[in-house]
Structure 1
Amino acid sequence: IAKAVAHAKKNLIRIPLKSNTIPHEVHGYFGGEHIVLKPAKQGTGIIAGGAVRSLLEVAGAQNIVAKTLGRGNPFNAVRATIEGLSQLRDPYEVREMRRTAVGMED
């Protein structure tokens, strides 16, 4: 069990949420599954099916729209969701990267 816990801690991902939703649209792929995660307005709730809904609730998102495309295997859908969530970037982080890449100084 200790090895499993150590492995899980190494694979944690940070999910940047902005107003209880994701900052931008992302796509995740795993196996035959393709998932599209989109930000939603306040009060929309989690619009997703089955296992993906549970994962997004645990992740802390409250307003998000998810569409699963593919064979419908819930295991692959969850893995595709995790892959999509790992692509999310914090808007402030992106701003800082762009500022230094362009060479603008404040």
Structure 2
Amino acid sequence: DGNGLVGFGIGKSGEVPDAIRKGIEDAKKNVIKVALKGTTIPHEIKGKFGAGEVLLMPAPKGTGVIAGGPVRAVVETVGIKDIRTKAIRSNNPCNVVRATINGLSQLRTADEVAAIRGKSTKEILGKEVE
């Protein structure tokens, strides 16, 4: 939706419109919320699915989306404007998309990490948060 939500689905059918409808229904069942930090991601992460691996790295403002086809489609749909990515080990678009979604679902903001650990954000980062 461009605001941190994304879903992935596969639909198969003899007719194209039916396959698209099934894919959209499947994607709506698998929606995840992605933690964003401005126009990029909070930290570097590697997503894995099957043989596919995707390395997602934050980038400074103005860098743009540096990503291949399947990864680019996912990160632009999420609403990420600045990111560097590298798809490793697999060229299969389905596995690359699932690895990307796996990586994005593992992202945590500093506030979330602090809450999990039962500490303040200042203790986690060692400085004041902007």
**TM-score w.r.t. length of structure 1:** 0.82
Match of 2:85 among 66, 73, 97: 66
Q: Is the 8 A contact 2:90 2:96 kept in 1?
A: no
In the alignment, structure 1 residue 98 sits paired with structure 2 residue 117: yes
2:11 corresponds to: none
Q: What displacement does 1:86 show? A: 0.6
Structure 2 unmatched ranges of 5 or more: 1-20, 124-130
What number of residue pairs does the alignment pair up? 100
Match of 2:52 among 4, 29, 33: 33
Instruction: Report the AA paired with residue 68 of structure 1.
Output: A
Q: What displacement does 1:13 show? A: 1.2
Instruction: Report the AA paired with residue 59 of structure 2.
Output: A
SS in structure 1 of the partner of residue 33 of structure 2: coil
Share of identical aligned residues, percent? 48
Structure with more contact order per residue of length (Cα contacts < 8 Å, sep ≥ 6) = 1
**TM-score w.r.t. length of structure 2:** 0.68
Aligned structure 1 segments of 4 or more residues deviating by more than 6 angstroms? none
In the alignment, structure 1 residue 86 sits paired with structure 2 residue 93: no
Output the CA distance in 2 between the equivalents of 1:76 and 1:58.
Answer: 17
**Cα-to-partner distance string for 1:41-91 (whole Å, 9 max, x where unaligned):** 000000000111011000110000110001311111001000000101122
